[in-house]
């Protein structure tokens, strides 16, 4: 007798090109989950509207690029259901229904609500869509009744809101339609951007999976290092150097130890240190770039994956929404 696999669901916004932080933090984790779980991974294009509603010109492009990155990095559509959120209208319907019973105070206490408003000051985020996007996120999750949702610690408040909404719905309508998904905690490596801040599309400091090798090398050449190391013969401190953080991710331990020692004694300069880690990153990304090149030329294959994935996801979504409307008697 075959024991059904437990289900995992996760998504990603197409708000820009996928960068190394996304790759190392989420995608590598997703790739490993395929071996153990029934996986549903979706492009959250409606979520991109929460901050990019005024300029939607590149959302389709970014959605396609995101899909290419996923496949190139090892997401297997034969083992995972891969789909685009907007192709499943049940996401919007469940979002509407859940919003009718969501207390405003639950949304206002969301820690990332004010944080993002501070982070993205160039956009007007005083909108219902931005305030209410955790409800859409809850609908995305609950629609597929997953056992687990991969999250980092900073995302736990969002998942807890999803669980609270599941409990509230079940309590109001005296039902057990929604199970409460558990967190699948993921350890995200420290990935710094070229300016020394956290790598983020919002900061414009990213190294993207779609960047060609010369672009990657050039971005690394301009990356900030230990601010106290002004001259070549000044000793450095790898503990405060964003480039060394890349060594800790991409370089073998022996190389890390040697770089650490040579930096502190000024035996190696920043230029050579950057070239060393660039070689390692290029080595790791070359198979991804090769796969991206093939996938980018095969629009028919990409469309087939989206259609098949959306059909599979749609069946699950329709069944859940039927349970919801039956419980609500509407």
pLDDT tens, residue by residue, 246-255: 999 999 999 9
* Fold match between domain 7-191+299-328 and domain 211-293: no
Architecture of the domain defined by 211-293: Orthogonal Bundle (1.10)
Q: Which of 201, 219, 297, 318 is catalytic?
A: 201
pLDDT band at 112 (very low <50, low <70, confident <90, very high): confident
* Percent of residues, the chain, with pLDDT higher than 70: 98
> Is the pLDDT reported for residue 1 higher than 70?
no
Q: Of the given ranges (87-101, 113-127, 189-203), which has the lowest mean pLDDT? A: 113-127
The catalytically annotated residue of 31, 123, 198, 248 is 198
* HEC letters along the chain: CCCCCCEEEEEECCCCCCEHHHHHHHHHHHHHHCCCCEEEEEECHHHHHHHHCCCCCCHHHHHHHHHHHHHHHCCCCCCEEEEEHHHCCHHHHHHHHHHCCCCHHHHHCCHHHHHHHHHCCCCCCCCHHHHCHHHHHHHHHHCCCCCEEEECHHHHHHHHHHHHHHHHHHHHCCCCCCCCCEEEECCCCCCECCCCCECCHHHCCCCECCCCHHHHHHHHHCCCCCCCCCCCCCCCCHHHCHHHHHHHHHCCHHHHHHHHHHHHCCCCCHHHHHHHHHHHHHHHHHHHHHHHHHHHCCHHHHHHHHHHHHHHHHHHHHHHHHHHHHHHCC
pLDDT at 155: 84
201 catalytically annotated: yes
78, 116, 174, 275: which one is catalytic?
Answer: 116
> What does pLDDT average to over the chain?
94
At the top level of CATH, the class of 7-191+299-328 is alpha beta
- pLDDT for 2: 66
Task: Indicate whether 121 pLDDT > 90.
Answer: no
How much is the average pLDDT of 16-38?
93
Q: Domain coordinates of the chain in residue numbers?
A: 7-191+299-328, 211-293
Least confident window among 141-145, 186-190, 237-241:
186-190
**190 labelled catalytic:** no
Q: For 117-128, what is the mean pLDDT?
A: 79
For the segment 153-178, what is each residue's pLDDT rounded down to a tens digit?
Answer: 878 888 999 999 999 999 999 999 99
CA of residue 126 relative to chain centroid, distance: 24
pTM of the model: 0.92
pLDDT higher than 60, residue 67: yes
Q: Which CA distances in Å does 15 have to 56, 89, 181, 191?
A: 9, 20, 26, 19
Question: Residue range 125-154: average pLDDT?
Answer: 93
Confidence bin at 190 (pLDDT 50/70/90): confident
């Amino acid at each position: 007798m075959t024991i059904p696999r437990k289900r995992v669901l996760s998504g990603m916004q197409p708000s820009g090109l996928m960068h190394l932080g996304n790759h190392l933090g989420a995608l590598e984790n997703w790739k490993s989950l395929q071996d153990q779980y029934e996986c549903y991974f979706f492009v959250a294009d409606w979520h991109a509207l929460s901050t990019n509603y005024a300029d939607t010109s590149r959302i389709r492009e970014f959605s396609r690029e995101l899909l290419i990155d996923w496949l190139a990095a090892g997401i297997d559509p034969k083992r995972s259901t891969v789909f685009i959120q907007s192709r499943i209208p049940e996401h919007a319907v469940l979002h509407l229904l859940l919003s009718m019973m969501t207390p405003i105070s639950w949304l206002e206490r969301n820690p990332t609500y004010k944080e993002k408003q501070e982070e993205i000051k160039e956009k007007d985020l005083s909108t219902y869509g931005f305030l209410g996007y955790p409800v859409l996120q809850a609908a995305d999750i609950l629609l597929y009744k997953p056992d687990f949702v991969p999250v980092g610690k900073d995302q736990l408040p969002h998942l807890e809101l999803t669980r609270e909404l599941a409990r509230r719905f079940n309590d109001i309508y005296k039902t057990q339609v929604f199970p409460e998904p558990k967190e699948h905690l993921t350890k995200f490596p420290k990935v710094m951007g070229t300016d020394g801040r956290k790598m983020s599309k919002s900061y414009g400091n990213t190294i993207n999976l779609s960047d060609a090798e010369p672009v990657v090398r050039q971005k690394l050449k301009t990356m900030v290092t230990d601010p106290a190391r002004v001259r070549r013969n000044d000793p450095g401190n790898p503990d405060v150097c964003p480039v060394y953080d890349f060594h800790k991710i991409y370089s073998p331990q022996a190389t890390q130890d040697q770089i650490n020692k040579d930096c502190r004694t000024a035996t190696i300069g920043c230029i050579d240190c950057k070239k060393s880690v660039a070689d390692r990153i290029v080595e790791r990304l070359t198979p991804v770039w090769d796969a991206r090149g093939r996938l980018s030329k095969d629009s028919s294959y990409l469309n087939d994956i989206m259609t098949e994935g959306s059909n599979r996801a749609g069946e699950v979504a329709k069944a859940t929404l039927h349970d919801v409307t039956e419980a609500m008697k509407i």
